[in-house]
Amino acid sequence: MSSSKLNIIVTGGAGFIGSHFVEKLLDNNYAVTVVDNFDAFYAKEVKQQNMASFLQHPDVTFLELDICDEANLHEHLQGTYEAIVHLAAKAGVRPSIENPIAYQQVNVAGTQNLLEFAKKKGIKQFVFASSSSVYGINKNVPWKESDGQLYPISPYASTKISGELMGHVYSHLYGIRFLALRFFTVFGPRQRPDLAIHLFSKKVLKAEPIRIFGDGSTKRDYTYVGDIVEGIYNALHYSATGFEIFNLGNRHTVSLSEMVKTIETVFDKSAIIESFPEQPGDVSITYADINKAQQLLNYSPKTDFKTGVEKFRDWLLLNQ
C-alpha cells in the first residue's frame, strides 16, 4: 500500500453499500482499510463476492474484526487514518424486534468503540450510517432533519438515534467531526438478499408467491446505491461544521404495489401475491426532504426507481 495515500477505515465494507463505497474510494486514489466481521445475518459467501473486485487491490487492507471488541480494534488497526466511514451495523427493522439486545450491543456499543478509537487515534472525521427509520411514525412528511420529533417504533431505529446522539457528544467533547447520514431504503446491485426488491425479484423469476404485508399502500423513498455512495463521499469531504445530520433519499415515494408492478415490468414476469396483515415495526411512509444535503453536500440523486431496478435486474441475472 502506498504510504502517500490517505487511508480511510470503512466498517461494513463487505456489505451492500460498503462494497460500492470502497470501490468509489479506490477510484479516487484512496487507500482503504475494510473492517467486517461477516455477521451471520446473511451468507459470508455473498459478502466475499461483494468484495471480489477489490480484495486483491494493492491499496486495500481487509481485516475480519468485530467492532464490539475494542481491544481487537486497537491491536489490529495500527495505521494512520484520515477518517472512519462507519457503515457496519446489525441491520433490519423486524429482526431487531426479535433480538433487541444484540442490536443494542452492535449498533450502540460498537459505534461507541469506534468513536473511542477515533478519539485515541486523533481521527477527526467520522461519517455514520444512520437510517430514515429514526423518524418512525412522524406524520410531518417529507421528513426534515430540523424536525426534532422522532418517533421510532423499532429497536433498530432507536439504536440509530443513539448513534447520532453519541456522535454529538464526541464532536462536542473531542472535536471529532461527526456526520450522520439518514439513508432512505437503498437498493441496487448487491442489495441484501433479505430486502424486498431482491427478495421479490427472485420469487418472480422462480414463479414463487411473494408475501405482501398490508394493502400495498405503504410507501418508501427508494434511493439508488450509486446516489447514496456519492452522498457518503461528499460527506467524507465536508468540513464546514463539527456535527450535522443529513437525509440521503430520492425525494420520491413509491408504494409497495407500484414497486411490485415495476419488478413485473422490468423482469417481464407476473408476480403471484399472497396477502398478510401489516407487521409490527413497519411505518406507513418514508419520504426525505433533501434540501439540506443538496445545499451542504452538493447531493443530487440521479437514478429514478425504474432505471435502478433495471440495473439491479442486470446484476441479479449475472449473479444468480
Handedness of CA 139, 140, 142, 146 (dihedral sign): negative
How would you classify the pairing of strands 254-255 and 219-220?
antiparallel
Residue 156: active-site member: yes
**Sequence-ordered list of residues with C-beta below 8 angstroms from that of 151, at least 6 positions apart, any chain:** 135, 136, 137, 138
Using only C-alpha atoms, the chain has a radius of gyration, in whole angstroms, of 19
Question: How many whole angstroms separate alpha carbon 38 and alpha carbon 43?
Answer: 8
Question: How many whole angstroms separate alpha carbon 126 and alpha carbon 138?
Answer: 27
C-alpha cell at 310: 433495471
Element (H, E) at 267: helix 256-267
Name the active-site residue from 156, 170, 222, 299. Answer: 156
Q: Would you name the residues annotated as active-site residues? A: 156
